[in-house]
């Protein structure tokens, strides 16, 4: 993937031509937009993985996936908490709200030129399950865009328990909300937009308009009673996002030839180095490369994107190698934050 953001390309274009020519003679690399362009953090990291679709090709679709955070509970500063945006034209649907979600969305809006991800446009979020790494950003996505004049209330879809969680969040910030409404901040235009519109679901269709249909797909995630994958059927692409899942047959059925399967994974090679009690945990909560290769193959996924990766010391190349060794032969990328697929 070659994402060329304006600051990087602009700095090259600003160089006087003679400087460029001299350096070109010396290094044969000072050509605006050349393959040597280091691009951004996202492109640099993405460039090291298995690449089949360029940024511009992904952006050409009406239905695009923008990975806002690939992280896990591990506090990797390069990987924000799990959050995936599906952007259909000028509408953004956010799946999970890991820590950092609003700032990652703001960076995508600014650096990738996706206005739907500006803070004040973040008005719907779909939660896969109630684990803290997937929900710590809920106060952020509820309140930060409100303070920034989001006109709409935030629609929150999630499993049973999400209503209580949102209620507790509003209560926790009661003093702040009171001051922002009744203090000196001009808040008349959107004074009630801090109140979330919450829909609890046990699975099924949770959103539908003339272009987009979203289904919550119950999956297996250890001892959680409810954990969902989400299937987004857009005008030109169908996308399935696993959330956290042990191998789950409903994902195979939901994908059924889908254009993009965004699926969690842990390193099978590093799994064996984990303490036995953690091996027992991960084997019932998450998915190994062998299991994912089987799922994606039987699902007929047109492209597989790994996210929420548990590396335990390996890296994106390592996970890609493990997937190839496990038998997945289709298009494959190990996602980075702000990768577009």
Interface positions with Zn ion (CB under 5 A): 131, 133, 244
CB of 63 or CB of 309, closer to Zn ion? 309
d(CA 315, CA 243): 20
Q: Is 314 helix (H, G, I), strand (E, B) or coil?
A: coil
Residue with tokens 């998450």: 286
**CB of residue 244 vs Zn ion: minimum separation in angstroms?**
3
**CB of residue 259 vs Zn ion: minimum separation in angstroms?**
24
**CB of residue 98 vs Zn ion: minimum separation in angstroms?**
8
d(CA 9, CA 247): 43
Residue 325 to residues 291, 292, 302, 321, 330: CA-CA distances in angstroms? 12, 12, 19, 6, 12
What letter would DSSP give residue 188? G
**CB of residue 262 vs Zn ion: minimum separation in angstroms?**
13
Retrieve residue 27's tokens.
């290094």
CB of 133 or CB of 337, closer to Zn ion? 133
CB of 37 or CB of 244, closer to Zn ion? 244
Are 268 and 291 contacting, i.e. CB atoms less than 8 angstroms apart? Answer: no
CB of 198 or CB of 246, closer to Zn ion? 246
**CB of residue 223 vs Zn ion: minimum separation in angstroms?**
11
CB of 130 or CB of 258, closer to Zn ion? 130
CB of 69 or CB of 145, closer to Zn ion? 69
CB of 3 or CB of 217, closer to Zn ion? 217
**CB of residue 130 vs Zn ion: minimum separation in angstroms?**
8
Closest to 20 (Cα-Cα) out of 7, 6, 36: 36
**CB of residue 327 vs Zn ion: minimum separation in angstroms?**
25
d(CA 67, CA 239): 13
Strand order across the 260-266 sheet: 204-208, 213-218, 228-233, 238-241, 260-266, 304-310, 332-334
SS (H, E, C) 256-280: CCCCEEEEEEECHHHHCCCCHHHHH
């Amino acid at each position: 993937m070659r994402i060329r953001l304006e600051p990087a390309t602009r700095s090259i274009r600003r160089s006087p031509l003679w400087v460029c020519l001299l350096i070109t003679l010396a290094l044969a690399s000072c050509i605006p937009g050349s393959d040597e362009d280091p691009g951004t953090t996202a492109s640099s990291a993405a460039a090291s993985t298995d690449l089949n679709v360029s940024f511009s090709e992904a952006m050409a679709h009406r239905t695009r996936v923008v990975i806002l955070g690939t992280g896990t509970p591990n506090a990797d500063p390069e990987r924000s908490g799990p959050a995936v945006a599906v952007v259909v034209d000028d509408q953004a649907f956010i799946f999970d709200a890991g820590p950092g979600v609003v700032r990652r969305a703001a960076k995508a809006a600014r650096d990738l030129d996706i206005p739907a991800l500006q803070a004040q446009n973040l008005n719907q979020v779909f939660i896969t399950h109630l684990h803290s790494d997937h929900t710590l950003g809920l106060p952020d996505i509820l309140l930060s865009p409100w303070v920034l004049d989001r006109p709409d209330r935030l629609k929150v879809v999630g499993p049973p328990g999400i209503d209580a969680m949102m209620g507790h969040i509003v209560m926790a910030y009661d003093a702040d909300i009171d001051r922002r409404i009744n203090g000196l901040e001009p808040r008349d235009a959107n004074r009630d937009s801090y109140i979330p519109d919450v829909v609890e679901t046990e699975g099924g269709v949770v959103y539908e308009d003339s272009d987009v249909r979203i289904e919550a797909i119950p999956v297996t995630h250890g001892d959680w009673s409810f954990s969902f994958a989400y299937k987004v059927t857009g005008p030109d692409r169908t996308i399935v996002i696993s959330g956290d899942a042990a191998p789950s047959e409903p994902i195979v059925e939901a994908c059924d030839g889908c254009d993009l399967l965004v699926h969690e994974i842990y390193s099978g090679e590093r799994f064996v180095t984990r303490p036995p009690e953690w091996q027992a945990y991960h084997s019932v909560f998450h998915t190994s490369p062998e299991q994912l290769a089987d799922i994606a193959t039987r699902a007929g996924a047109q492209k597989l994107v790994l996210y929420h990766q548990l590396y335990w010391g390996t890296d994106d190349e390592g996970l890609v190698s493990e997937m190839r060794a496990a038998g997945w032969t289709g298009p494959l990328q190990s996602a980075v934050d702000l990768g577009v697929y």
